[in-house]
Structure 1
């Protein structure tokens, strides 16, 4: 198996993540460590192209089965690989439920590969050193208090400010407010 254990996101968390990141047609969502595929299925139902990055062959097979059963096999791509080996630059949205130590490593990859404006949803565990544009707490269907952190590449990542020799990122308020909402 890979570097992270399988701990599924609750269905409430998945729906809330899609709403928070405003996932829809035209989006390309990557779920890093996709597990049973519930995130990519929900993204595809909302019109996004969904990419499941899953290293475990049994989970990859399960995701393909769920995609087929939902009639979404044309909207879901399964990459059976380590997400550190996967190019992420096509993503408009990233979903992750990963340990902070892994997020710290991924932050470097995000800085290199993601385009400005890419939204990242971190479930329960923030990305060390990045600044969320929104934090959303809720109670899921199991009664657990849950948190989503929404990041936007080019706004949330301090490395992009340093590379441009700026103290604050240039912020297109209209764009951020469209993503973040009220």
Structure 2
């Protein structure tokens, strides 16, 4: 091998291999992309998974008018309150501000954590509890007041659950859709913000 060939080989070996660089960069990009995708899946799954169940109960925050109507429906009531499908915890927190011992049941773990943080932030940690539970499996028998933001397809089954489990003096507040067979003692509001109040004693 001549001197010039040796010099050329030494020069080529000193130049970075673009294929090697691309391969390393590609692996890094794949790793980062995969990590982001996994993170988004973990965060989004609790919000998407309700659509895969028999009854889809999506997270839709209560409007200010709905919240006002619920508090109006609770006027003159006292004791314990349960929000089935409590979402961001607003109803539970507002009820606690009005002297109710309030619980929320929610399947989405991120919303449960957010609700607990909001309750602590409002100084209501001792008056509220949030449980990550399936509302169909949660025992509602100890509560004096129950709030539910349901969808039309689930109201008949909810009605059966209430009639089976609720104590006689329990007050049911249904939002967005009424219970199909029970007659409400009164209604508050109109349109999408309507709430229907039911007294189990009258059922």
With normalisation by structure 2, the TM-score equals 0.70
Q: Which moved more, 1:15-24 or 1:109-118?
A: 15-24
Is the 8 Å Cα contact of residues 83 and 148 (structure 2) preserved in structure 1?
Answer: yes
The root-mean-square deviation of aligned C-alpha atoms, in Å, is 1.5
2:195 matched residue in structure 1: 148
Q: Which has the higher contact order (CA 8 A, sep 6+)?
A: 1
Quick one: distance in 2 between partners of 1:62 and 1:27? 24
The offset of 1:122, in angstroms, is 0.8
Deviations 1:125-175 (A, max 9, x none): 10111110101224xxxxx752111111121x3xxxxxxxxxxxxxxxxxx
2:121 matched residue in structure 1: 69
Where 1:83 maps in the other structure, the secondary structure is coil
Q: Radius of gyration: which is bigger?
A: 2
Q: Which runs of 5+ in 2 are unaligned?
A: 1-48, 51-55
Match for residue 56 of structure 1 among 77, 86, 108? 108
2:46 matched residue in structure 1: none
Quick one: distance in 1 between partners of 2:116 and 2:192? 31
Paired positions, count: 150
| The structure with more helix, counted as a fraction of residues | 2
Quick one: distance in 1 between partners of 2:107 and 2:76? 24
Q: Which runs of 5+ in 1 are unaligned?
A: 139-143, 158-182
Match for residue 64 of structure 2 among 2, 6, 11? 11
With normalisation by structure 1, the TM-score equals 0.77
Quick one: distance in 2 between partners of 1:102 and 1:27? 27
Quick one: distance in 2 between partners of 1:23 and 1:40? 17
Is the 8 Å Cα contact of residues 69 and 194 (structure 2) preserved in structure 1?
Answer: no
1:161 matched residue in structure 2: none
2:148 matched residue in structure 1: 96
2:36 matched residue in structure 1: none
Task: Please tell me whether residue 116 in structure 1 is matched to residue 168 in structure 2.
Answer: yes
Displacement over 6 Å in runs of 4+: none
